[in-house]
Structure 1
Amino acid sequence: MAETEILSWTKNYSLKWSDFQAEHNPASYEDSHSVIKYGFTWTVDSEKIGSDILFLIKNIQISVEFCPLLSSVRPSETNDQLLKYEQGRFDLAELVKRENISNIQMKFEGKTFPTRGKNEEQRKQLAKEDSGKMIAKEIEKLQDILEKRLREYDESTDYGNNLEKLSEYDLKFEQLK
């Protein structure tokens, strides 16, 4: 596999050990370490109402991203059970996204926001910048929710060693496929 900066979650792709491309720190207590985050895209439009130019945020898309160059595994520990646990972390991020995406979209879609700037071109540029910052704040909150849920997952599955709990989570992740 060519070195990839990110892998986006899809129902048809399962992680492989070759996706864990960072060198594993031998002093780490973890047998594996994955970096999972959210990315986003959106469209910003402007509308003139009287003498005011307002912007609208549309088409917010959120992706779950696995970062191969930041994810690692202890070479002596590459087994199916640990990989299933890591896939569960990736799946949990997708589940959290699906549970929260409509709330994020509802905060912005169909609403107008004031622009700043001295001329129309500057207002358009600043609307793009401002809308990105507004969405990024919501993505940070989503990342915080994910971190909390990942801690619960790690603890309840004993980092993939509790097969019964891992199976319970697998049932939840089946709805993603």
Structure 2
Amino acid sequence: MVSENEILSWSKDYSLQWSDFKAEHNPATYEDSHSVIKYGFTWVVDSEKVGDDVLFFIKNIQISVEFCPLLSSVRVSNANDQLLKHEQGHFDLAELVRRQNISSLQMKFEGKKFPTRGKNEEQRKQFAKEDSGKMISLEVEKIQKILDKRIQEYDETTDFGNNLEKQSEYDLHFQQLKL
């Protein structure tokens, strides 16, 4: 179960349940269900003094795939196993895109040093944390855009899970993530 402010992180051991879709469904929308999936990230920022300058570097960037129950909904009259499997596919696709892009994101920052701003050490540390977060966030947004495009392709190809042949092709692909 998730509490009010929690998200569900993707795991090979967990599959979405209809009870995870906690938002009230808008009866005017075309779609029978709606999943809100985004990427979260953590990182470590460190700094070193080089002459008079303080430089920061970023390491241990981790990205997580997060399903947002309080923003996700389903039209109860249409909640069935086939549709749930399709929604799980959105979650699995997000994990697939994460895996395909994490190392290039990490490589963008690995071993690089960036200048800090601020008048004293305390300010520089604060700005290093803030600036590094913004830098990573921009890269994560690019991955989110890739995901949005892939989800659109997935929905169109599978006709939102109604094309069982195409859906099962995707499902087979997603099973590889759980090995």
TM-score normalised according to structure 1 size = 0.98
Q: Is the 8 A contact 2:46 2:56 kept in 1?
A: yes
Q: Which moved more, 1:44-53 or 1:3-12?
A: 3-12
CA deviation after TM superposition for structure 1 residue 3, in Å: 3.6
Report what 2:151 is aligned to. Answer: 150
Matching residue's letter, 1:115: T
Structure 1 SS opposite 2:162: coil
Partner deviation per Cα, 1:19-65 (whole Å, 9 max, x = no partner): 00000111111100110000000000001112211000000000000
Say how many residue pairs are matched.
Answer: 177
Report what 2:84 is aligned to. Answer: 83
Structure 2 SS opposite 1:176: helix
Report what 1:172 is aligned to. Answer: 173
Report what 1:94 is aligned to. Answer: 95
Q: Map of 1:21-170 to 2, 5 A cutoff?
A: 21-170=22-171
Gaps of 5+ in 2: none
Rounded Cα–Cα distance in structure 1 between residues aligned with 2:175 and 2:117: 46
Q: Is the 8 A contact 2:2 2:8 kept in 1?
A: no
Rounded Cα–Cα distance in structure 2 between residues aligned with 1:112 and 1:18: 45
CA RMSD between the two structures: 0.9
Q: Structure 1: which 4+ aligned runs deviate by more than 2 Å? A: 1-5
Rounded Cα–Cα distance in structure 1 between residues aligned with 2:110 and 2:13: 30
Gaps of 5+ in 1: none
- Identity value in percent: 79
TM-score normalised according to structure 2 size = 0.97
Rounded Cα–Cα distance in structure 2 between residues aligned with 1:72 and 1:122: 43
Rounded Cα–Cα distance in structure 2 between residues aligned with 1:169 and 1:98: 16
